[in-house]
Amino acid sequence: MLAIDPELAALLGPVDPRFQVEEPKHVPTIAEARAYCEQSEVAPSKAYHKPFLPLENTYDVQDRKVSVDDGEITVRCIVPVAADELETFPVLVNMHGGGWSVGSIDLDDYFLRKVAVDLQLSIVNVDYRLAPEYPFPTAVTDCLAALKWVASNTALLKGDLSKGFLVCGHSAGANLAAVLAHEARDDPFFRGPGRQLTGQILREPLVIHPDAYPEKLKPEMRSMEENKYMPPLTRATADFVVALYNPVRNDSRFSPLLYTSHHDLPRAFVQGMALDILRDDARAYAKALREAGVECRHIEYPGVSHGFHHNYPAITAAIRVRADLVQGIKWVLSKDSET
């Protein structure tokens, strides 16, 4: 049995949480779940990253509206300030985590501002609509609309998609990013000059509904059971948010591992956590990409659980996860081939 990272264990408490098995005493309302996310993830993440924000004169932040089928969503655009007015940047489109039902673009906002300046990369952070008010596949259609908006508005972003056009996300956001990679591959809209995606950055993704594992995959998908009591994302919590989103379990727009083909997808950087219920999702997706001839780098971190770097952003393992993420983005943007 894998040990918990000592710094994380000290913050979680003296008893290994995998043995603190209790029946849920209270099923939260969606308002309670969203408030808890703000308190336990958004607030500590913003507080940690605030001192590292770049100087205000090095980047521009604007919230813009994107039309969707029956309304509009907000996208937060972070654009570096260039020394040369004609300079252009690659573009990364980010989807936040939160089980399709909680969280917001504030979750990674400050961290993404630093990434934008450090890597000279325009970033569009998508505030897609949340379940249960907007169930599956609303998040998918919202994010696809945002991706098309980016491709059609590069001038606003000082973007040059031929330099890089990435989708990125954490947890539910990583699920959406993986779906977008497939949808954009198959959508004629993205076949125009300079519109093809060039990379996918997947941080602790869910890539298949736990009740939709193919028989041949079941022996490899053990983490949903092995880590089911490990906070912050227990199996019970995952079941709760998936039920709110209410997807069709074998629809590839929720379970992107089930797309008929993974060929011709852009190169991918995938992060997974050893004590995460989604550990084997990351492994399975990386394996499927490699078998389809897609360049993929996959890093798995021992002793840590899902999203711990948001809850406890200052511990050593969290700093490493973010540093590797930055290096992963740089690799996806580079022309280096995987060896």
User: Is 306 one of the catalytic residues?
Assistant: yes
Give the three-state DSSP class for 203. Answer: strand
CB 45 within 8 A of CB 107: yes
Q: How far is CA 95 from CA 16, 124, 125, 174, 179, in A?
A: 32, 9, 6, 7, 11
* Residue 186 structure tokens: 């198959």
Q: How far is CA 283 from CA 105, 256, 273, 298, in A?
A: 27, 14, 10, 8
Specify the amino acid at residue 132. P
* Residue 106 structure tokens: 């504030």
CB 154 within 8 A of CB 161: yes
Nearest to 151 by CA among 124, 112, 173: 124
> How far is CA 173 from its chain centroid?
4
Rounded Cα distance, 199 and 182, in Å: 11
How do strand 267-273 and strand 199-203 relate by DSSP bridges?
parallel
* Residue 197 structure tokens: 């995606």
Rounded Cα distance, 196 and 74, in Å: 23
Rounded Cα distance, 106 and 45, in Å: 9
> How far is CA 203 from its chain centroid?
5
Specify the amino acid at residue 142. D
Catalytic annotation, pick one of 276, 281, 298, 309: 276
> How far is CA 23 from its chain centroid?
29
User: Is 262 one of the catalytic residues?
Assistant: no
Rounded Cα distance, 227 and 273, in Å: 11
Catalytic annotation, pick one of 170, 262, 298, 306: 306
Catalytic annotation, pick one of 45, 101, 122, 171: 171
User: Is 26 one of the catalytic residues?
Assistant: no
**Which residues are annotated as catalytic?**
171, 276, 306
